[in-house]
Chain A
Amino acid sequence: METYYKPEDLRKFEEIGKEAPDLAKKFFEYYNAVFAEGALTEREKALIALAVAHAVQCPYCIDAFTQACLEKGSNLAEMTEAIHVVTAIRGGASLVHGVQMRNVAQKLSM
């Protein structure tokens, strides 16, 4: 079935550099530097990336970072908790705007 998202397209990611190679080179160098071991471990960074992938709902990122998390030694329980963290923030971000709603409603109401 035709679909906009094709798993094999992930492997074509580098083709994005064909039109703007200097920018792509800078981006990929930055990207790889970000995910290298630093104050956070590679495993921790992969868990953050997996959670954010769900928040931005990127199927390529979910595919790649699920594999990356497993390869860096995380288990399904840890990966699921990471997704709950981002879900809580995302839900909380909606809910906290309820304060704005209440402010407006109070201003308009008698």
Chain B
Amino acid sequence: MNPERALQEIGVAEMPLETFSQTLFRHGLRLEREKTTTLQVNVGNLCNQSCRHCHLNAGPDRREIMNSETVDGVISYAARNGFQAIDITGGAPELNPNLEKLIEGLSSCAPRILVRSNLTALTENKRENLIRLLQAYQVVVIASFPSFDEHQADAQRGPGTFRTSLATLKKLNSLGYGVEESGLELHLVCNPTGAFLPSSQALIEKRFREVLLKRWGIVFNRLFSFANMPLGRFRQWLLQSGNLESYLQRLGSSFNPCAVEGLMCRTLVSVSWDGYLYDCDFNLARDLPMGGRRIHVSEMEGPPAPGSPIAVADHCYTCTAGGGFT
């Protein structure tokens, strides 16, 4: 019995979860857009894995991927705006045949390009050209690595993914990724392998750094720990496993008002595979478009206006639980 938890839950846990908007109002907070500095590009739901925590239901059977015309539209939009960073995600971005064109096109539009990788799609089918391109443009690799325990990692991401991920990390290290002063950044993302919240980021980063180096000689730059979003396949699993209600309560009772100021949705705009704009990738998964209406990237001249409201729903509690989601 953990009284800290019990005390956190006073007045919250025993009442039905109030809406996220109500919670913001109760704390006197408003969630509005600021200057947009990051463009997130979701190039599609096609993935070689079917992770059980995926908020997008991405998988090998999904056919929605960003086509060449939309890629052109995204590059044009990025060129019209001075984003500080462009974050390419999926699905598995590596499976989109237009990825190389997208990276080349965006490289002159922002000083920092990031690609999210599940670490298995990057090395399957000998994607040497893509890896060389990432190196050449000093693209930051953000890699999913939920646990250094093989059983936990494979339970979340599928059999055999853990060992393949280790091999890919070693390969990336051999190319300079994650190695100090190489100019090639390799960051890890760690999502809990179940219906519980993540550890403190600083503590888990320290432990992963020690264990990965000691056991496998692997190095990385930073580790980010994020709570799982109760959407998509993860929500289905929560429901089937009888964890949904307690997980939502846990997120709600862990609401940290201080996390609201630093939420990524304030400074990010997310483009879906078919070119529509959202306040974040999670609102994309929930189909909650930016500004309450579907706006195509080709219609958008500049970045979203500062001060405009951000679409919220109960999944937003995930980003305000504990330390928050950046």
Query: Interface on A for B, CB 8 Å cutoff?
Result: 8, 10-14, 27-28, 31-32, 35, 37, 41-43, 58, 60-61, 64-65, 67-68, 70-73, 75-77
The distance in angstroms between the C-alpha atoms of A67 and B193, with both chains bound, is: 12
CB pair B199–A76 under 8 Å, yes or no, is no
The distance in angstroms between the C-alpha atoms of A13 and B9, with both chains bound, is: 10
Which residue in A14, A70, A75 is a CB contact (below 8 Å) of B151? A75
Which residue in B1, B6, B149, B199 is a CB contact (below 8 Å) of A72? B199
13 new A-B pairs (CB below 8 Å) besides A13-B6, A72-B199? Answer: A10-B1, A12-B6, A14-B3, A28-B7, A35-B2, A42-B203, A43-B199, A58-B1, A64-B2, A71-B197, A72-B203, A76-B151, A77-B149
Check: B10 CB closer than 8 A to any chain A CB. Answer: yes
Report the minimum CB–CB distance from A75 to chain B (whole Å). 4
Check: B147 CB closer than 8 A to any chain A CB. Answer: yes
- The main secondary structure of chain A at its interface with chain B is helix
Check: B44 CB closer than 8 A to any chain A CB. Answer: no
Which residue in A11, A43, A58, A70 is a CB contact (below 8 Å) of B192? A70
The distance in angstroms between the C-alpha atoms of A10 and B250, with both chains bound, is: 13
CB pair A68–B203 under 8 Å, yes or no, is no
CB pair B14–A11 under 8 Å, yes or no, is yes
Report the minimum CB–CB distance from A52 to chain B (whole Å). 12
CB pair A71–B192 under 8 Å, yes or no, is yes
Check: B110 CB closer than 8 A to any chain A CB. Answer: no
Report the minimum CB–CB distance from A57 to chain B (whole Å). 13
Report the minimum CB–CB distance from B149 to chain A (whole Å). 4
Beta-carbon contacts of B147-166 to A below 8 Å, as 1s and 0s?
10101100000000000000
The distance in angstroms between the C-alpha atoms of A75 and B4, with both chains bound, is: 22
12 contacts between A and B (CB under 8 A): A14-B6, A37-B203, A41-B203, A61-B1, A64-B5, A68-B2, A70-B196, A71-B196, A71-B198, A73-B204, A73-B207, A76-B152
The distance in angstroms between the C-alpha atoms of A14 and B10, with both chains bound, is: 8
The distance in angstroms between the C-alpha atoms of A11 and B192, with both chains bound, is: 23
Report the minimum CB–CB distance from B145 to chain A (whole Å). 13
CB pair B149–A75 under 8 Å, yes or no, is yes
Check: B131 CB closer than 8 A to any chain A CB. Answer: no
The 9 closest A-B pairs by CB, nearest first: A13-B6, A75-B149, A60-B1, A64-B2, A73-B199, A70-B196, A28-B3, A11-B13, A71-B196
The distance in angstroms between the C-alpha atoms of A60 and B1, with both chains bound, is: 5
Beta-carbon contacts of B189-228 to A below 8 Å, as 1s and 0s?
0001110111110011001000000000000000000000
Report the minimum CB–CB distance from B225 to chain A (whole Å). 9
Which B residues are CB-close (under 8 A) to A75? Answer: 147, 149, 151-152
Which residue in A10, A35, A71 is a CB contact (below 8 Å) of B199? A71
Which B residues are CB-close (under 8 A) to A13? Answer: 1, 3, 6
The distance in angstroms between the C-alpha atoms of A31 and B207, with both chains bound, is: 25
Which A residues are CB-close (under 8 A) to B4? Answer: 31-32, 35
Contact residues, B210-248 vs A (CB, 8 A):
none
Beta-carbon contacts of B1-29 to A below 8 Å, as 1s and 0s?
11111110110011000000000000000
Which residue in A35, A61, A73 is a CB contact (below 8 Å) of B203? A73
Which A residues are CB-close (under 8 A) to B2? Answer: 35, 64-65, 68
The distance in angstroms between the C-alpha atoms of A12 and B10, with both chains bound, is: 8
- Output the nearest chain A residue to B7 by Cβ-Cβ distance: A14
Which B residues are CB-close (under 8 A) to A43? Answer: 199, 203, 207
